[in-house]
Amino acid sequence: MKKQRVLFILILSIVVLTLTIITSFFVESRSQKLPAVIFSEKVIISSRVEGVIKSYSVSSMQEVKQNDPIAIVANSRLLVKLETLRKERDKYVELINSAKTGDYLKTEVYDLEHDIQKNRKDMEAAKVELDNIREKYVYLNERFALGSKKYIAARKMYDNALLSQSDFEKEVKSYRDVQNEQSELKADSLVAIETIKSSQNIINLLQARSSIISSNVNILAAEYVIDLNDVDAKIKDLEEDIKSLQVYSPIAGIVTDINYLPGENVNKGDVIAEIADLSKVWVIAYGSSFSRLKVKVGQKVKINCGDGEKIWGKVVTISPVMEKVKSLSSSFETNNTYTKIEIQFDSLEEAMRYVTPGERLFVRIYF
């Protein structure tokens, strides 16, 4: 009786094993196991201003909520620039009020006359300098003519061996020195002439503006209003930049990358951190050319999680081309080509309890 029971159990085990093998073979023939990676949408956080990273309020792989502080960028020049613009704005407001009441003549015209007198002084000084240069040039021309004759004579004597090399070199040096002085005087004269022309042009422009101010108050006020609007726009932009010195998270998620250290310089647009958006997570499976032919959109997928849990999803897209993939797991490297198959979780809330963005695992797609 005991032998019969053992035989029965043995036969039953063989039947169960056979059924398991048949079932596994059937499942294998109607499905495919593929390597896969968990992906999430990444949001990059860029600095809106240039400056220095003062500090981070988060660390890598830390969970953050929307509007949580991420980092502080320091830029003291922005505050100085803002203060300067505010003073400039106050000046334009005062000038507009003065223009409307006629008091502008006491301010703007006075400043213009002061600038005109300054440029006249610069122009007169340049004229005096030009006269001195011309006198020097006349004297230098005489020296140059005499030096040329002495150089030619010395050259002939040297060629006929009537003058030593050292004496000849002295004559050459004297001749070259006069030439250099001439070149310097020419350059100085050009600078003086340009200064005279520039000063005269500036004087003409200042006098024209003074005439406009004295003849038409309304035009002046309108010009100041335009300037004031321009300054207001700059102040508004600068205030926004100053607000941007404190960087906040635009979404809830996980900080995956911190790209700078406190004390490092950043430019406008530099990516200072990256956040994984956990509300947008999916799986990419990597299949062969066979997979591309057998896998269809909508097919069920079993995702084997690292802790042994199994969750479900479905195929949503299949890449029409094969792509090179460098690595599919931490245990081996490959440069083969694969078909990318995108898989969507049936329940994202359930999935986030068992998987992590960046995790490598295996999935089974059922045909």
Residue 100 lies in a domain: yes
> What percent of the chain stands above pLDDT 90?
23
Q: Which of 190, 209, 239 is the last residue of a domain?
A: 239
Residue 337 has pLDDT above 80, yes or no: yes
Domain identity same for 154 and 177: yes
Q: Are residues 259 and 351 in the same domain?
A: yes
Contacts of residue 39, defined as CB under 8 A and 6 or more positions apart, other chains included, come to: 281, 282, 283, 284, 357
Domain boundary among 215, 239, 263: 239
The answer on pLDDT for 321 being more than 90 is no
Q: What is the mean pLDDT of residues 116-120?
A: 85
- Mean pLDDT, range 328-353, rounded to an integer: 77
Residues 142 and 260 in one domain: no
Q: How far is CA 4 from CA 13, 16, 156, in A?
A: 14, 18, 139
Residue 362 lies in a domain: yes
Q: Is the pLDDT reported for residue 332 higher than 70? A: no
Inform me whether the pLDDT recorded for 208 exceeds 90.
no
Would you call 345 helix, strand, or coil by DSSP? strand
| Mean local confidence (pLDDT), 261-272 | 91
Separation of alpha carbons 242 and 256, rounded Å:
26
DSSP single-letter state for residue 326: S
Residues 6+ apart with CB under 8 A from 281: 38, 39, 40, 41, 345, 348, 351, 352, 355, 357
DSSP code of residue 347: -
Segment 257-282 shows an average pLDDT of: 91
342 with 357, same domain: the answer is yes
Q: What is the DSSP string of 216-274?
A: -HHHHHHHHHHHHHHHHHHHHHHHHHHHTTEEE-SSSEEEEEE---TT-EE-TT-EEEE
Q: Are 53 and 73 in contact (CB under 8 A)?
A: yes
Instruction: Note down the domain range covering 322.
Output: 32-74+252-366
Are 44 and 107 contained in the same domain?
A: no
Q: 361 is written with which tokens?
A: 């695992």
Length in residues, the chain = 367
The total number of structural domains in the chain stands at 2
Per-residue pLDDT tens digits for 209-254: 777 666 655 556 666 777 778 888 888 888 888 898 999 999 988 8
Strands (E), the chain: 31-46, 51-56, 63-64, 69-74, 246-248, 253-258, 265-266, 271-287, 300-304, 310-324, 327-329, 332-333, 337-345, 360-366
Given a cut of 60, whether residue 286 has pLDDT beyond it is yes
Q: How many CB atoms lie within 10 A of CB 345?
A: 20
User: pTM higher than 0.75 for the full model?
Assistant: no
Phi, psi of 363 (to 5 degrees): -130, 160
